[in-house]
Amino acid sequence: MRTDSTFFVTKRRNFVIREPDILKMIKCIAIDDQYSSLAGLQKYIEDTPNMRLVQQFTDPITALRELASSETVDVIFMDVEMPQISGLELAKAIRFRTRKLIFTTSHQQYAFDAFEAAGDAYLLKPYSYAKFATTITRLFGHEMTGGANEDYFLVKNKEEEHRAVMVKYEDIIAFESFHNYIKLHTVSKVIIAYLSLKDVREQLSIKKGFIQLHRGYIVAIDKILHIDGNRITMNNHISFTVGDIYHHEFKSFISERLIISSRKK
């Protein structure tokens, strides 16, 4: 699991993290016999607004004993392969103690079994923060925006010490390839994130409102300021020439939107 900064996690087998009094906090529990996996997950949760890791376990038997009579939480992250009792078996006993259940494992073959065990999502290790955030957004997006019906995603901003920030799709002007990062241009600021345009295409909900006409850009259609020949200028004055491999798509884009006068000259 990739993280963008160093962090520390105690080596005690099970411990509780005090939860601050924050409204609409999504309470999480993590169960995994590997300390490194717990440490990475803990960092992802800490970097995500409105999420709080309240307890974590490296021993599934202890988790079974303690969670059988505990309060319900919002989400449990659970490894599949663990000693004495597997995550799939443990899920049957404690599923009623969580609203959502996310399985984490290094083995693709458990995907079907995970969903058979009433799992809501499946994260294949090592998973990126982008994949983690996309999963959380899918399961809890409506709650994390205070009940607002807005499409958004979470991304780590390199310029803010890799703090996770919420970005609304409607605020996006363009995704720009930038070395090993992307520049995410919005109406209010530029975010630099450790992603690629391939990550953007595969992991985010890029819908009809976005188009790629250059290998270095994915742009919001409604933020295009003007088109001069093959030159496109966005409303924040980013400008680029349509790439050769995108000419067919560009012609279709223009023909579908261009209004032509029926009057004779």
pLDDT, residue 148, reads 46
Whole-angstrom CA distances from 30 to 164, 199, 204, 206, 218 are 20, 26, 25, 30, 36
| Residue 39 pLDDT > 80 | yes
Domain 152-257 has CATH 2.120.10.30: no
> Residue 263: its pLDDT value, please?
67
Closest CA to 32 of 58, 6, 52, 63: 58
Would you place residue 261 in the very low, low, confident or very high pLDDT band (cuts 50, 70, 90)? low
Q: What percent of the chain has pLDDT over 90?
A: 51
For residue 182, the model assigns a pLDDT of: 93
CB 213 within 8 A of CB 249: yes
Find the Cα–Cα–Cα–Cα dihedral 177, 181, 186, 189, rounded to 10°: -130
Higher pLDDT, 113 or 23: 113
Q: Contact at 8 Å (CB) between 63 and 88? A: no
Q: Is the pTM of this model over 0.85?
A: no
Higher pLDDT, 109 or 17: 109
pLDDT at 144: 63
| Residue extent(s) of CATH 3.40.50.2300 domains in the chain | 14-144
pLDDT band at 21 (very low <50, low <70, confident <90, very high): very low
- Residues of CATH 2.40.50.1020 domain(s) within the chain? 152-257
CB 13 within 8 A of CB 5: no
Percent above pLDDT 70 for the chain = 83
pLDDT digits (tens, 9 = 90+) for 41-98: 999 999 888 899 999 999 999 999 999 888 999 999 999 999 999 999 999 999 999 9
| pLDDT tens digits for range 183-236 | 999 999 999 988 888 888 876 666 678 999 999 999 999 999 999 999 999 999
CB 53, CB 42: distance < 8 Å: yes
The count of residues in the chain is: 265
Class of domain 14-144: alpha beta
What average pLDDT is seen over the chain? 83
> What would the mean pLDDT of 114-143 be, rounded to a whole number?
84
Residue 16 pLDDT greater than 50, yes or no: no
- Confidence tier at 14 by pLDDT (50, 70, 90): very low
